[in-house]
A = this chain, B = another copy of it.
Amino acid sequence: MREIYADHAATTFPRPPAVAAAMTAYLNNIGCSPGRGGYKRSLDAARLVYESRSRLAELFNAARPEQVIFTPSVTYSLNLLLKGLLRTGDHVLVSSVEHNSVVRPLSRLAGELELQVEFLQCNPDSSLDPLQVKKKLRPSTRLVILTHASNVTGALLPVYETGEILAGTDTFYAVDAAQTAGSEEVDFAALRCDYLAFTGHKGLLGPPGIGGMCISERAAEITEPLVEGGTGSRSEQERQPGFLPDKFESGTQNVPGIAGLNAGVLTVLDAGTEALGRQKRELTERFRQGLAQIPGIKVYGPTDAAATTATISVSIEGMDSGDLSFILDQAYGIMTRSGLHCAPYAHRTLGTFPAGTLRFSFGYGSTQLDVTEILAALKEITTAR
Protein backbone atom coordinates (compact mmCIF):
# COMPACT_ATOMS: atom_id res chain seq x y z
CA MET A 1 0.00 0.00 0.00
CA ARG A 2 1.32 3.40 -0.99
CA GLU A 3 1.81 5.78 1.94
CA ILE A 4 0.14 9.17 1.71
CA TYR A 5 1.35 11.68 4.24
CA ALA A 6 -1.26 14.38 4.91
CA ASP A 7 -0.05 15.67 8.28
CA HIS A 8 2.33 18.42 7.20
CA ALA A 9 0.85 20.80 9.77
CA ALA A 10 2.40 18.52 12.43
CA THR A 11 5.77 18.16 10.75
CA THR A 12 7.06 18.11 7.18
CA PHE A 13 7.82 14.71 5.66
CA PRO A 14 9.75 13.68 3.65
CA ARG A 15 12.32 16.45 4.00
CA PRO A 16 14.77 17.52 1.30
CA PRO A 17 17.68 15.02 1.43
CA ALA A 18 19.99 18.03 1.92
CA VAL A 19 18.66 18.34 5.49
CA ALA A 20 19.93 15.01 6.81
CA ALA A 21 23.07 15.46 4.69
CA ALA A 22 23.81 18.83 6.32
CA MET A 23 23.36 17.36 9.80
CA THR A 24 25.68 14.46 9.04
CA ALA A 25 28.20 16.81 7.41
CA TYR A 26 28.27 18.94 10.56
CA LEU A 27 28.70 15.88 12.80
CA ASN A 28 31.45 14.36 10.64
CA ASN A 29 33.29 17.42 9.34
CA ILE A 30 32.94 19.95 12.16
CA GLY A 31 31.49 18.22 15.20
CA CYS A 32 32.51 20.86 17.75
CA SER A 33 30.73 23.68 19.55
CA PRO A 34 30.70 27.31 18.42
CA GLY A 35 32.08 30.02 20.68
CA ARG A 36 33.67 27.55 23.08
CA GLY A 37 37.20 27.44 21.68
CA GLY A 38 39.46 29.30 19.29
CA TYR A 39 40.38 26.36 17.08
CA LYS A 40 39.20 25.92 13.51
CA ARG A 41 36.44 23.39 14.21
CA SER A 42 34.88 25.72 16.76
CA LEU A 43 35.13 28.66 14.38
CA ASP A 44 33.63 26.53 11.58
CA ALA A 45 30.70 25.73 13.86
CA ALA A 46 30.28 29.44 14.65
CA ARG A 47 30.32 30.24 10.92
CA LEU A 48 27.67 27.60 10.23
CA VAL A 49 25.42 29.01 12.94
CA TYR A 50 25.93 32.53 11.60
CA GLU A 51 25.14 31.41 8.06
CA SER A 52 21.89 29.83 9.19
CA ARG A 53 21.02 32.92 11.24
CA SER A 54 21.71 35.20 8.27
CA ARG A 55 19.65 33.08 5.94
CA LEU A 56 16.69 33.22 8.31
CA ALA A 57 17.12 36.99 8.62
CA GLU A 58 16.98 37.15 4.83
CA LEU A 59 13.88 34.95 4.66
CA PHE A 60 12.04 36.90 7.35
CA ASN A 61 13.43 40.31 6.39
CA ALA A 62 14.99 41.05 9.78
CA ALA A 63 17.40 44.00 9.79
CA ARG A 64 20.22 42.24 11.66
CA PRO A 65 21.02 38.49 11.76
CA GLU A 66 21.46 38.86 15.53
CA GLN A 67 17.74 39.59 15.81
CA VAL A 68 17.18 35.94 14.92
CA ILE A 69 17.33 33.80 18.07
CA PHE A 70 17.59 30.03 17.92
CA THR A 71 15.35 28.09 20.30
CA PRO A 72 14.47 24.39 20.62
CA SER A 73 10.92 24.93 19.32
CA VAL A 74 8.25 27.50 18.58
CA THR A 75 6.67 26.43 21.87
CA TYR A 76 9.83 27.58 23.66
CA SER A 77 9.82 30.84 21.66
CA LEU A 78 6.24 31.59 22.70
CA ASN A 79 6.94 30.75 26.35
CA LEU A 80 10.05 32.93 26.23
CA LEU A 81 8.20 35.99 25.01
CA LEU A 82 5.20 35.54 27.30
CA LYS A 83 7.27 34.88 30.42
CA GLY A 84 9.98 37.34 29.51
CA LEU A 85 7.68 40.27 28.79
CA LEU A 86 4.53 40.10 30.90
CA ARG A 87 4.37 41.74 34.32
CA THR A 88 1.76 41.81 37.09
CA GLY A 89 -1.63 43.10 36.00
CA ASP A 90 -0.82 43.40 32.29
CA HIS A 91 -3.65 43.50 29.77
CA VAL A 92 -3.19 40.94 26.97
CA LEU A 93 -5.20 40.43 23.80
CA VAL A 94 -5.12 36.98 22.24
CA SER A 95 -7.08 35.37 19.44
CA SER A 96 -9.63 32.67 20.19
CA VAL A 97 -7.91 30.11 17.95
CA GLU A 98 -4.48 29.94 19.63
CA HIS A 99 -2.57 26.72 20.11
CA ASN A 100 -1.89 25.29 23.59
CA SER A 101 1.67 26.63 23.23
CA VAL A 102 0.11 30.04 23.88
CA VAL A 103 -2.97 29.02 25.88
CA ARG A 104 -1.18 26.95 28.51
CA PRO A 105 1.66 29.32 29.46
CA LEU A 106 -0.76 32.26 29.33
CA SER A 107 -3.24 30.46 31.51
CA ARG A 108 -0.54 29.80 34.11
CA LEU A 109 0.77 33.37 33.96
CA ALA A 110 -2.76 34.76 34.17
CA GLY A 111 -3.07 33.15 37.59
CA GLU A 112 0.38 34.06 38.85
CA LEU A 113 0.50 37.63 37.56
CA GLU A 114 -3.20 38.51 37.73
CA LEU A 115 -3.14 39.25 34.03
CA GLN A 116 -6.21 40.60 32.29
CA VAL A 117 -6.43 38.25 29.34
CA GLU A 118 -9.05 39.21 26.78
CA PHE A 119 -9.98 37.21 23.71
CA LEU A 120 -10.19 38.53 20.20
CA GLN A 121 -13.21 36.47 19.23
CA CYS A 122 -12.79 34.82 15.85
CA ASN A 123 -15.72 34.12 13.53
CA PRO A 124 -17.17 30.59 13.45
CA ASP A 125 -14.96 29.84 10.42
CA SER A 126 -12.00 30.91 12.63
CA SER A 127 -11.21 34.04 10.62
CA LEU A 128 -10.69 37.25 12.58
CA ASP A 129 -11.95 40.75 11.90
CA PRO A 130 -9.11 43.20 12.63
CA LEU A 131 -11.77 45.55 14.00
CA GLN A 132 -11.76 43.26 17.04
CA VAL A 133 -8.23 44.47 17.75
CA LYS A 134 -9.19 48.13 17.31
CA LYS A 135 -12.18 47.70 19.58
CA LYS A 136 -10.41 45.89 22.41
CA LEU A 137 -7.06 47.66 22.37
CA ARG A 138 -6.43 49.86 25.42
CA PRO A 139 -3.62 52.37 25.88
CA SER A 140 -2.38 50.06 28.62
CA THR A 141 -2.47 46.87 26.55
CA ARG A 142 0.91 45.22 27.01
CA LEU A 143 0.75 42.53 24.36
CA VAL A 144 -1.28 41.39 21.38
CA ILE A 145 -0.53 37.85 20.32
CA LEU A 146 -1.87 36.25 17.17
CA THR A 147 -1.18 33.07 15.33
CA HIS A 148 -0.60 33.77 11.64
CA ALA A 149 -2.82 30.81 10.78
CA SER A 150 -5.01 28.40 12.70
CA ASN A 151 -3.40 24.97 12.96
CA VAL A 152 -6.91 23.45 12.81
CA THR A 153 -8.57 25.12 9.82
CA GLY A 154 -5.65 26.89 8.17
CA ALA A 155 -7.51 30.22 8.44
CA LEU A 156 -5.09 33.13 8.02
CA LEU A 157 -5.46 35.82 10.65
CA PRO A 158 -5.05 39.53 9.81
CA VAL A 159 -1.53 39.80 11.15
CA TYR A 160 -0.43 42.59 8.80
CA GLU A 161 -3.53 44.70 9.44
CA THR A 162 -3.01 44.25 13.18
CA GLY A 163 0.57 45.41 12.79
CA GLU A 164 -0.73 48.60 11.17
CA ILE A 165 -3.19 49.16 14.01
CA LEU A 166 -0.50 48.71 16.65
CA ALA A 167 2.28 50.64 14.91
CA GLY A 168 3.49 53.53 16.99
CA THR A 169 1.79 52.38 20.19
CA ASP A 170 3.50 51.06 23.32
CA THR A 171 1.78 47.71 22.87
CA PHE A 172 4.07 44.80 22.05
CA TYR A 173 3.01 42.55 19.24
CA ALA A 174 3.77 38.85 18.77
CA VAL A 175 3.03 36.67 15.75
CA ASP A 176 3.19 32.88 15.80
CA ALA A 177 4.31 31.76 12.34
CA ALA A 178 4.45 28.02 13.15
CA GLN A 179 1.94 27.23 10.42
CA THR A 180 3.05 29.73 7.79
CA ALA A 181 6.82 30.25 7.67
CA GLY A 182 8.03 28.92 4.34
CA SER A 183 4.60 28.92 2.68
CA GLU A 184 3.14 32.37 3.30
CA GLU A 185 4.77 35.77 3.23
CA VAL A 186 6.21 36.19 6.71
CA ASP A 187 7.93 39.57 6.70
CA PHE A 188 9.18 40.67 10.12
CA ALA A 189 9.58 44.29 9.04
CA ALA A 190 6.23 44.54 7.26
CA LEU A 191 4.45 42.83 10.15
CA ARG A 192 5.85 45.57 12.40
CA CYS A 193 5.85 43.06 15.22
CA ASP A 194 8.17 42.65 18.19
CA TYR A 195 8.28 38.89 18.24
CA LEU A 196 8.00 36.52 15.31
CA ALA A 197 8.03 32.94 16.61
CA PHE A 198 8.78 30.16 14.15
CA THR A 199 9.56 26.47 14.04
CA GLY A 200 12.14 24.79 11.84
CA HIS A 201 10.45 21.48 11.09
CA LYS A 202 7.28 22.49 9.24
CA GLY A 203 7.27 24.83 6.24
CA LEU A 204 10.98 25.56 6.68
CA LEU A 205 11.61 21.86 5.94
CA GLY A 206 14.20 21.38 8.70
CA PRO A 207 14.43 18.72 11.40
CA PRO A 208 12.39 18.66 14.63
CA GLY A 209 14.18 20.13 17.65
CA ILE A 210 15.04 23.55 16.27
CA GLY A 211 13.02 26.73 16.05
CA GLY A 212 13.47 30.37 16.80
CA MET A 213 12.23 33.89 16.99
CA CYS A 214 12.90 37.26 15.42
CA ILE A 215 12.89 39.97 18.07
CA SER A 216 12.70 43.75 17.79
CA GLU A 217 15.38 45.88 19.42
CA ARG A 218 12.91 47.39 21.90
CA ALA A 219 11.62 43.95 22.88
CA ALA A 220 15.13 42.51 23.16
CA GLU A 221 16.00 45.18 25.67
CA ILE A 222 13.23 44.52 28.16
CA THR A 223 12.46 40.83 27.63
CA GLU A 224 14.00 38.57 30.27
CA PRO A 225 15.61 35.34 29.08
CA LEU A 226 13.85 32.07 29.84
CA VAL A 227 17.16 30.29 30.38
CA GLU A 228 20.41 31.81 31.63
CA GLY A 229 23.80 30.12 31.52
CA GLY A 230 27.02 29.76 29.63
CA THR A 231 27.22 31.75 26.42
CA GLY A 232 30.97 31.64 25.84
CA SER A 233 30.80 35.45 26.18
CA ARG A 234 31.51 37.68 29.18
CA SER A 235 32.13 34.56 31.23
CA GLU A 236 33.31 36.66 34.15
CA GLN A 237 29.83 38.13 34.68
CA GLU A 238 27.44 36.31 36.93
CA ARG A 239 24.55 37.92 35.06
CA GLN A 240 23.50 37.00 31.53
CA PRO A 241 25.04 39.24 28.81
CA GLY A 242 22.52 41.80 27.58
CA PHE A 243 23.34 41.75 23.86
CA LEU A 244 21.79 39.78 20.99
CA PRO A 245 21.78 36.90 20.37
CA ASP A 246 23.62 35.77 23.54
CA LYS A 247 20.98 37.17 25.90
CA PHE A 248 18.57 34.48 24.75
CA GLU A 249 20.92 31.64 23.75
CA SER A 250 22.53 29.84 26.68
CA GLY A 251 24.17 26.45 26.75
CA THR A 252 25.58 24.39 23.93
CA GLN A 253 23.52 24.96 20.82
CA ASN A 254 21.75 22.38 18.70
CA VAL A 255 24.23 22.78 15.84
CA PRO A 256 23.08 19.67 13.93
CA GLY A 257 19.54 21.07 14.08
CA ILE A 258 20.76 24.51 12.99
CA ALA A 259 22.67 22.88 10.10
CA GLY A 260 19.59 20.93 9.04
CA LEU A 261 17.40 24.02 9.27
CA ASN A 262 19.96 25.93 7.22
CA ALA A 263 19.57 23.36 4.42
CA GLY A 264 15.78 23.54 4.71
CA VAL A 265 15.73 27.33 4.51
CA LEU A 266 18.07 27.25 1.53
CA THR A 267 15.57 24.97 -0.22
CA VAL A 268 12.78 27.42 0.61
CA LEU A 269 14.77 30.43 -0.60
CA ASP A 270 15.73 28.63 -3.82
CA ALA A 271 12.19 27.50 -4.61
CA GLY A 272 10.64 30.71 -3.30
CA THR A 273 8.05 30.97 -0.56
CA GLU A 274 5.47 32.20 -3.02
CA ALA A 275 5.92 29.25 -5.37
CA LEU A 276 5.88 26.74 -2.50
CA GLY A 277 2.76 28.35 -1.06
CA ARG A 278 1.01 28.48 -4.42
CA GLN A 279 1.64 24.81 -5.09
CA LYS A 280 0.21 23.77 -1.71
CA ARG A 281 -2.72 26.12 -2.14
CA GLU A 282 -3.57 24.64 -5.54
CA LEU A 283 -3.61 21.14 -4.10
CA THR A 284 -5.73 22.32 -1.20
CA GLU A 285 -8.14 24.11 -3.48
CA ARG A 286 -8.62 20.99 -5.61
CA PHE A 287 -9.08 18.98 -2.42
CA ARG A 288 -11.67 21.44 -1.16
CA GLN A 289 -13.61 21.29 -4.43
CA GLY A 290 -13.53 17.50 -4.33
CA LEU A 291 -14.72 17.45 -0.72
CA ALA A 292 -17.70 19.64 -1.67
CA GLN A 293 -18.88 16.87 -3.99
CA ILE A 294 -18.88 14.16 -1.34
CA PRO A 295 -22.17 14.08 0.56
CA GLY A 296 -21.99 13.91 4.33
CA ILE A 297 -18.65 15.68 4.73
CA LYS A 298 -18.57 18.95 6.60
CA VAL A 299 -15.59 21.25 5.98
CA TYR A 300 -14.56 23.83 8.58
CA GLY A 301 -12.80 27.12 8.10
CA PRO A 302 -12.91 29.85 5.44
CA THR A 303 -14.04 28.73 2.00
CA ASP A 304 -11.79 31.16 0.15
CA ALA A 305 -8.48 29.47 -0.76
CA ALA A 306 -6.63 32.77 -0.46
CA ALA A 307 -7.73 32.99 3.18
CA THR A 308 -6.19 29.71 4.31
CA THR A 309 -3.02 27.64 4.37
CA ALA A 310 -2.84 24.06 3.10
CA THR A 311 -4.69 22.75 6.17
CA ILE A 312 -8.31 21.59 6.15
CA SER A 313 -10.45 20.21 8.97
CA VAL A 314 -13.44 18.02 8.22
CA SER A 315 -15.96 15.79 9.93
CA ILE A 316 -18.34 13.08 8.75
CA GLU A 317 -21.65 13.20 10.51
CA GLY A 318 -22.09 10.42 13.02
CA MET A 319 -18.50 9.27 12.69
CA ASP A 320 -15.78 9.82 15.27
CA SER A 321 -12.78 11.66 13.83
CA GLY A 322 -10.42 9.22 15.53
CA ASP A 323 -12.16 6.26 13.89
CA LEU A 324 -12.04 7.99 10.52
CA SER A 325 -8.33 8.73 10.91
CA PHE A 326 -7.75 5.10 11.88
CA ILE A 327 -9.59 3.73 8.85
CA LEU A 328 -7.76 6.10 6.49
CA ASP A 329 -4.45 4.93 7.93
CA GLN A 330 -5.17 1.21 8.09
CA ALA A 331 -7.13 0.72 4.90
CA TYR A 332 -5.67 3.43 2.66
CA GLY A 333 -2.24 4.33 4.06
CA ILE A 334 -3.38 7.95 4.52
CA MET A 335 -1.82 9.70 7.52
CA THR A 336 -3.88 12.42 9.21
CA ARG A 337 -4.42 13.83 12.67
CA SER A 338 -7.72 13.69 14.50
CA GLY A 339 -9.01 15.23 17.72
CA LEU A 340 -8.26 18.65 19.17
CA HIS A 341 -4.83 19.29 17.59
CA CYS A 342 -3.54 20.83 20.85
CA ALA A 343 -5.92 23.72 20.20
CA PRO A 344 -9.06 23.41 22.34
CA TYR A 345 -9.89 27.12 21.94
CA ALA A 346 -9.88 26.83 18.17
CA HIS A 347 -12.32 23.93 18.41
CA ARG A 348 -14.52 25.90 20.80
CA THR A 349 -14.56 28.69 18.20
CA LEU A 350 -15.56 26.21 15.49
CA GLY A 351 -18.14 24.49 17.69
CA THR A 352 -16.28 21.20 17.42
CA PHE A 353 -15.20 20.91 21.06
CA PRO A 354 -14.64 18.36 22.58
CA ALA A 355 -15.12 15.88 19.72
CA GLY A 356 -12.59 17.57 17.45
CA THR A 357 -12.17 17.13 13.71
CA LEU A 358 -10.09 15.24 11.22
CA ARG A 359 -7.29 17.34 9.81
CA PHE A 360 -5.64 17.04 6.40
CA SER A 361 -2.61 19.17 5.70
CA PHE A 362 -0.45 19.34 2.60
CA GLY A 363 3.15 20.36 2.20
CA TYR A 364 6.44 20.15 0.40
CA GLY A 365 6.12 16.45 -0.51
CA SER A 366 2.42 16.46 -1.41
CA THR A 367 1.26 15.55 -4.91
CA GLN A 368 -1.85 15.70 -7.06
CA LEU A 369 -1.98 11.93 -6.80
CA ASP A 370 -2.25 12.26 -3.00
CA VAL A 371 -5.31 14.48 -3.39
CA THR A 372 -6.91 12.11 -5.90
CA GLU A 373 -6.41 9.10 -3.65
CA ILE A 374 -7.59 10.83 -0.48
CA LEU A 375 -10.77 11.98 -2.22
CA ALA A 376 -11.36 8.47 -3.56
CA ALA A 377 -10.90 7.00 -0.09
CA LEU A 378 -13.32 9.47 1.50
CA LYS A 379 -15.87 8.76 -1.21
CA GLU A 380 -15.58 5.04 -0.56
CA ILE A 381 -15.88 5.45 3.21
CA THR A 382 -18.91 7.74 3.06
CA THR A 383 -20.64 5.57 0.45
CA ALA A 384 -20.05 2.37 2.40
CA ARG A 385 -21.84 3.70 5.47
Contacts and interface: CB of A to CB of B under 8 A. Distances in A.
A344 B210 contact: no
Nearest to A333: B39
A161 interface: no
Contact of A227 (B40, B79, B209, B252): B79
Nearest to A253: B208
A281 interface: no
A229 B75 contact: yes
A2 to B, nearest CB: 14
The 3 tightest CB contacts between A and B, nearest first, are A209-B254, A75-B251, A230-B342
A226 B40 contact: no
Contact of A38 (B253, B260, B338): B338
Nearest to A226: B226
A340 interface: yes
Contacts of A339: 235
Interface stretch (A28-36, A188-196, A293-301): A28-36
Interface in A197-227: 199, 201, 207-210, 224, 226-227
A142 to B, nearest CB: 19
B32 A10 contact: yes
Given A238-B103, A239-B104, A38 B353 contact: no
A288 interface: no
A236 to B, nearest CB: 5
Contacts of A228: 79, 100-101, 104-105, 107-108
Main DSSP-derived SS at the A contact region: loop
B238 A107 contact: yes
Nearest to A345: B238
Contacts of A227: 75-76, 79, 105, 226
Interface in A7-36: 7, 10-11, 13-15, 19-20, 23-24, 27-28, 31-33, 36
A41 interface: yes
B201 A252 contact: yes
Contact of A255 (B209, B256, B342, B343): B209
Contact of A239 (B101, B107, B201, B354): B107
A341 interface: yes
A320 to B, nearest CB: 12
A160 interface: no
A322 B37 CA distance: 10
B27 A11 contact: no
A138 to B, nearest CB: 23
Nearest to A105: B228
Nearest to A9: B36
B252 A254 contact: no
A72 B75 contact: no
A78 interface: yes
A14 B343 CA distance: 42
B38 A322 contact: yes
A202 to B, nearest CB: 9
Task: Determine which residue in A232, A254, A322, A340 has the highest number of CB atoms from chain B within 10 A of its CB, and name it.
Answer: A254
B229 A78 contact: yes
A326 B42 CA distance: 13
A104 B238 contact: yes
Given A10-B36, A32-B7, A208-B33, A199 B252 contact: yes
Interface string A241-270: 000000000111111110010000000000
